[in-house]
Structure 1
Amino acid sequence: MKRTTEFLRHSVEREDRPDGSILLRSTYPLSPVVERTGDWLHQWAGEAPDRVFLAERSGAGWREESYAGILEKVRAIGAALLARGMGANTPILIMSGNGVDHGILALAAQYVGVPVVPVAEQYSLIHGAHGRLREAINLIKPKMAYVVDADQYGEALNLEDLASVEIVASRPGSRNVTAFADLLKGDGSVDVDSAFAAVTPDTVGKILMTSGSTSSPKGVLTTHRMMCVNQAQLADSMPFLRKRPPVIVDWLPWNHVFGGSHNFNMMLANGGSLYIDDGKPVKGLFERTVENLSLKTGTLVFNVPLGFGMLLKALEADADLRQRFFEDLDLIFYAGASLPQEVWSGFERMAMEVKGEVPLMTSSWGLTETAPSALMQQEPAPHSGIVGVPVSGVTVKLLPDADMRCEVRVKGPNVMPGYLNDPEKTAAAFDEEGFFITGDAMLFLDPADANKGMRFDGRISEDFKLQSGTWVRAAQLKLDMLSRLAPLAADLIITGADRNQIGVMIFPNVAELTREGFDLNDDDGAFRCKLLQGEIHRRLSARAREISGSSTLVSRAIVLSQPASMPEGEMTAKGNLNIRKVLARREALLERLYTDDDPAVVTL
């Protein structure tokens, strides 16, 4: 298959140690690293002052801000923050989603040594999710909070927890808050240059809240070193980033490390342009994404598997958009879960039809604590699901079990120094050699050749044993079941810990089921739709004929009538299920799942 996008061949050094652990390192050296994010801004404001850095939709077109213009605004806002006495111990809480003013404020704070803490906008906009917002406020104790629209965020701004916090809004509306425009006036009484010079690689640039899918959210101290090193590692892994300025049209939220550190900083580090997509891969908002792509396409595209599935359908239906989407594309990058192979193959086919070659289609692996990328598939992959090899400067420690399933630990300059105000969890996060304990598992594609890369194999904490003592690898089984039950299931939970059978609790894709003509009737939290139950039974039975062994046999299912609740902590801002919360809150339904005569339960 023809490919012209430049890529880096894997070159890994493997060390098998006497204790059974395995160390993996890239043989490529880490490129020079800038000291702070403001260095990138100065570089591109000097080399390409008029180039667009950030843009957002405005009317029928875009509001575009250049590198030189943003540097000027960053220095003005930095002066305003310093004049207020702000510094390393006075974080700024950012309550709104992606936006040009959000990006400028974050860069200004980092420029003068003030940490920013972006949180999911849902925590402010959904009444029942204010508990999560309060958790963040009480942990970080901000001196300032930013929203794009004070009236829109009014209910959250009325929280007692924010009573002593200065509120800044781009659109103050009817509320008595500080206008973002006032910060842009700056303050001539402070020395911005000295403050910028005092920012070091160890200065905390942002504090990112973990999703809370396995425990209470923690504040990850993210230093300038972490962010700057990781961009050098990414450019080492993808040499084409340094050859021409990248362009993206991107919706991924900046309160997450993938959107806010990986993608945002990739544009800044390489003199690229970030056009903010105000759509999302959900019904009613994805149409906005298509509209935005009709106005602007990029050289790189990032998305989650669900988003790529929706995008593939949109491209199939629009020949003009398909042509413009692929004609200048260097990279298709997915994250968050494995990309379904049929979606992967669809993009390959379409790229060949449009331009006769396939861009680099790839993924990586990492966490908020690793800034994020620690492993990356640098060279073209034969199929979806491969996360590659260590990036430059990172050492990965693998602890294999008898089946060569490896627990993953990481050491490198892109790894966090710790969690905010939590020395106990910080200490517990590292092993005796200083490796960060990720809790994730990997498998070698080829145990005899580390250069073939690795694939993600779930969270160690999600695995469980049946009563028989058989281990169930829940994460991989979940992916298989989601594929088998598509499009009936929006999400699901694998059950069976300390029981004699594996079950599945299904959150249905209600819109899809309604379109398919299923008449859903709920009863005590579970759907009792004979047609739907019959279809699930058919699919479970077909699967059972294809597999062997109790560790993968799913023999019972129940369809839940109530969606996962963010206010109750069942769902994180990323859209991930908090499995422990769901099982605890729906304990009665879990018991019903293991009752043979319940009419809501499907059994083999």
Structure 2
Amino acid sequence: MSFDQSPKYRPLIFGVTRVKLRDGAPGTHYLQADQPLLPYPERMTDRLQHWAETVPQRTFMARRVKQADGSLGDWRHLSYAEVWATARRIAQSILDRGLSVERPVVILSENSLEHGLLSLGCMIAGVPYVQTSPAYSLISTDYDKLRHVVNTVTPGMLFASDAARYGKALQAVATPDMEVVLVEGELAGLKSTGFDALCATAETPAVDAAIAATGPDTIVKFMFTSGSTKLPKAVINTQRMWCANQQQMSQSMPVLTQGPLVLVDWLPWNHTFGGNHNVGMVLYNGGTLYIDDGKPTPALVHETLRNLREIAPTVYFNVPTGFEAIADAMKTDPVLRKTLLSRVKMFFYAAASLAQPIWDSLYESEEQEIGERIVMSTGLGMTESGPFGLYVTSPEVKAGDLGVPTPGMAVKLVEIGDKTEIRYKGPNITPGYWRAPVETAEAFDEEGYFKSGDAVKWIDETDIHLGLKFDGRIAEDFKLSTGTFVSVGPLRNKIVAAGAPYIQDVVITGLNLKEVGAMVFPTQAVRALSGLPADASMHDVVDSAPVLQKFQQIVDELAKTATGSANRIARLCLLADPPTIDRGEITDKGSVNQRAVLRLRADTVTKLHADELHYIIKPQI
């Protein structure tokens, strides 16, 4: 008697399971889904109006109310009907001010109901909006990136949640012709307006006229890149781009259309993952978005866990550090397990490395609670692609798998040295960068394909229908001073696998130097390894003897399998401070931005290779 030992997964339909491949010029191939892109609306406004008319009382957005003492209380809900009516009044206020593509709206602050309403009001009025990283205002001291955003788009209006937190930034960048809109407080010396005044504007027929005047080529927003090596570029996002991408997502991920969609989401709207991918899927499919004020950091993850104990999502998106925290919490939190797993049909993580022990821990909790696993999906995309581009085709996903192209998007695979770059063409691809003709021209090849800079290879060369997997960034690879070429992607993955579950990600060093080094971002699992109290600082944790001993073992094991200087880790250090989205160390895809980390932590790189750090781990074999 034989038994089927394959794991059982909660049912999930994969929309694209077959692809078509054709050869081009030598070293070039073209790949696309074996199904067409179905029709999609001309503008996202149509979807908002549709849901306001068909399910007017359904909650579109909700957020916990901030209390006088700073704590978060009960949820405040906004229905589709309320959002539609309020956004139309805001649109009227925008039209009254004569705002336009030349004088758009810049939003400085974090995710909020007011932030969401203002962006929808802009969309109805046909006026672009720009969602900037709150770090540009709250962490920066020179406001250079915020000033760059303002100089690039020349806004007529600046919005922030409150004067107390954003006042200095507003004072630094606002000019007399820019109106400042605040939810709370006032600012002396600036032309400021309360957000409630926008919501109270009397609507006129100009609103419907503005909607009718918008179409597929209307610019919805400018979304800035992370700017790891240069100042951020303003990616043009049109109605066609957003609508097409949402239809592509619905066809690739049919789960989005199966019953009311519910998201609990912290991902920042100034990044394409949160602001386009997730907000867009809720709006396109008539779902409900619970704005999570938590984050996958030790100080804020408790809020995310609190929300997931109360609200059961139907699909759930996060970055690897978020899933790590959830996996750890589910081991001992039956309420979290019960609520989170009660109806979720799919987990989805961005293209960063998700250590296998985290997958195993999630699977163990899932099988314990519901007797089956939840599919952990992933894919590939970027700000310039809407962002959704590729999606996996099987529940048996492995770290680095990307899958196949979404319907309607053609992929060009171009051999560059020993790497293969993936390039995109389709209705979801940006027409270019705002007021940057040179950068726009450089971003597209002679056939009009967008050059992503991402390297890929086949998951299985004998079965192209499984799709592609990630092979690093073309620009990440480098040469040692000896002329030896270092392929960063595979080496990084090898280190992460060897150090599981203690390594979250790795940055490879050694450009123009004699040896390869590694700077490791550890997971929270090293805390238990250290034997120190739970409240010990991460700096003390990574300096502890048990942790250093463990990483010595990891480095020695890696050395045993090294075949030369290009893949031998000659020196390694542990980074106590995690990478941050706000500083550009995390890409829009959720992966560590190697170049940004190397630039921002250049002093650590120098000291690592000069033997000047307190602890440097080197092979002892």
TM-score, scaled to structure 2: 0.89
Distance of aligned partners of 1:227 and 1:145 in 2 relative to their CA distance in 1, 3 Å threshold: same
Distance of aligned partners of 1:333 and 1:582 in 2 relative to their CA distance in 1, 3 Å threshold: closer
Give CA deviations for 1:187-243 in whole Å, capped at 9, x if unaligned: 445611111000011111010010112432100000011110000000001122222
Distance of aligned partners of 1:233 and 1:521 in 2 relative to their CA distance in 1, 3 Å threshold: closer
2:508–2:594: 8 Å Cα contact kept in structure 1? no
Q: Distance in 1 between matches of 2:468 and 2:229?
A: 23
2:404–2:465: 8 Å Cα contact kept in structure 1? yes
Q: Distance in 1 between matches of 2:497 and 2:229?
A: 23
Partner of 2:128: 115
- More displaced, 556-565 or 35-44? 556-565
- For residues 240-251 of structure 1, the aligned pairs below 5 Å read 240-251=255-266
1:312–1:343: 8 Å Cα contact kept in structure 2? yes
Tell whether 2:395 aligns with 1:388. no
Partner of 1:67: 80
Determine helix, strand or coil for the equivalent of 1:406. strand
Tell whether 2:36 aligns with 1:43. no
Distance of aligned partners of 1:5 and 1:284 in 2 relative to their CA distance in 1, 3 Å threshold: same
Q: Distance in 2 between matches of 1:537 and 1:42?
A: 60
Give CA deviations for 1:402-427 in whole Å, capped at 9, x if unaligned: 75x42111100000000011000000
2:14–2:393: 8 Å Cα contact kept in structure 1? yes
Give CA deviations for 1:38-85 in whole Å, capped at 9, x if unaligned: 000011011101000000012532100001110001110001100111
Q: For 1:334, which of 331, 337, 349 is the aligned residue?
A: 349
- More displaced, 466-475 or 110-119? 466-475
Report how far residue 321 of structure 1 moved.
2.0
Tell whether 2:34 aligns with 1:34. no
Q: For 1:463, which of 468, 477, 483 is the aligned residue?
A: 477
Partner of 2:322: 307
Partner of 2:5: none
Partner of 2:200: 185
CA RMSD in angstroms, aligned pairs only = 3.0
- Unmatched runs of 5 consecutive residues or more in structure 1: none
- More displaced, 320-329 or 388-397? 320-329
- For residues 45-444 of structure 1, the aligned pairs below 5 Å read 45-58=52-65, 59-128=72-141, 130-172=143-185, 177-188=192-203, 191-400=206-415, 405-444=419-458
Distance of aligned partners of 1:190 and 1:152 in 2 relative to their CA distance in 1, 3 Å threshold: farther
Report how far residue 312 of structure 1 moved.
1.0
Q: Distance in 1 between matches of 2:260 and 2:33?
A: 26
Which amino acid is the alignment partner of residue 413 of structure 1? P
Q: Distance in 2 between matches of 1:581 and 1:348?
A: 33
Give CA deviations for 1:253-303 in whole Å, capped at 9, x if unaligned: 000001000000101100100000000000110001111122212101000
Report how far residue 134 of structure 1 moved.
1.3
2:352–2:592: 8 Å Cα contact kept in structure 1? no
Determine helix, strand or coil for the equivalent of 1:128. coil
Q: Distance in 2 between matches of 1:565 and 1:315?
A: 25
1:344–1:383: 8 Å Cα contact kept in structure 2? no
Report how far residue 126 of structure 1 moved.
1.5
2:354–2:504: 8 Å Cα contact kept in structure 1? no
Tell whether 2:17 aligns with 1:10. yes
Q: Distance in 2 between matches of 1:228 and 1:188?
A: 26
- More displaced, 421-430 or 283-292? 283-292
Distance of aligned partners of 1:278 and 1:160 in 2 relative to their CA distance in 1, 3 Å threshold: closer
Report how far residue 545 of structure 1 moved.
1.6
Give CA deviations for 1:334-377 in whole Å, capped at 9, x if unaligned: 10413222222332333333333333321110110000011111
Distance of aligned partners of 1:203 and 1:19 in 2 relative to their CA distance in 1, 3 Å threshold: same
Q: Distance in 2 between matches of 1:6 and 1:532?
A: 42
Partner of 2:4: none
Which amino acid is the alignment partner of residue 256 of structure 2? L
Report how far residue 28 of structure 1 moved.
1.0
Q: Distance in 2 between matches of 1:199 and 1:334?
A: 34
- Unmatched runs of 5 consecutive residues or more in structure 2: 1-7, 66-71
1:465–1:497: 8 Å Cα contact kept in structure 2? yes
Which amino acid is the alignment partner of residue 224 of structure 2? M
Report how far residue 576 of structure 1 moved.
7.0
2:424–2:451: 8 Å Cα contact kept in structure 1? yes
Report how far residue 492 of structure 1 moved.
4.5
1:214–1:578: 8 Å Cα contact kept in structure 2? no
Distance of aligned partners of 1:308 and 1:505 in 2 relative to their CA distance in 1, 3 Å threshold: closer
Distance of aligned partners of 1:585 and 1:275 in 2 relative to their CA distance in 1, 3 Å threshold: closer
Distance of aligned partners of 1:586 and 1:37 in 2 relative to their CA distance in 1, 3 Å threshold: closer
Determine helix, strand or coil for the equivalent of 2:84. helix
Which amino acid is the alignment partner of residue 125 of structure 2? V
Q: Percent identity?
A: 37
- More displaced, 477-486 or 142-151? 477-486
1:364–1:374: 8 Å Cα contact kept in structure 2? yes
Report how far residue 172 of structure 1 moved.
2.7
1:95–1:146: 8 Å Cα contact kept in structure 2? yes
Q: For 2:513, which of 495, 499, 503 is the aligned residue?
A: 499
Q: Distance in 1 between matches of 2:576 and 2:11?
A: 49
- More displaced, 85-94 or 503-512? 503-512
Q: Distance in 1 between matches of 2:368 and 2:545?
A: 44
Q: Distance in 1 between matches of 2:546 and 2:177?
A: 56
Which amino acid is the alignment partner of residue 29 of structure 2? I
Which amino acid is the alignment partner of residue 322 of structure 2? G
Q: Distance in 2 between matches of 1:160 and 1:29?
A: 46
TM-score, scaled to structure 1: 0.91
- More displaced, 431-440 or 544-553? 544-553
Q: Distance in 1 between matches of 2:26 and 2:606?
A: 42
Determine helix, strand or coil for the equivalent of 1:440. strand
Q: For 1:541, which of 548, 552, 556 is the aligned residue?
A: 556
Determine helix, strand or coil for the equivalent of 1:426. helix
2:353–2:504: 8 Å Cα contact kept in structure 1? no
1:120–1:573: 8 Å Cα contact kept in structure 2? no
Distance of aligned partners of 1:570 and 1:221 in 2 relative to their CA distance in 1, 3 Å threshold: closer
Distance of aligned partners of 1:132 and 1:489 in 2 relative to their CA distance in 1, 3 Å threshold: farther
Which amino acid is the alignment partner of residue 31 of structure 1? L
Distance of aligned partners of 1:190 and 1:295 in 2 relative to their CA distance in 1, 3 Å threshold: same
Q: Distance in 1 between matches of 2:266 and 2:537?
A: 33
Count of residues in Structure 1 that have an aligned counterpart in Structure 2: 598
Report how far residue 431 of structure 1 moved.
0.2
Tell whether 2:31 aligns with 1:24. yes
Q: Distance in 2 between matches of 1:338 and 1:326?
A: 23
- More displaced, 237-246 or 363-372? 237-246
Distance of aligned partners of 1:237 and 1:585 in 2 relative to their CA distance in 1, 3 Å threshold: closer
Distance of aligned partners of 1:307 and 1:521 in 2 relative to their CA distance in 1, 3 Å threshold: closer
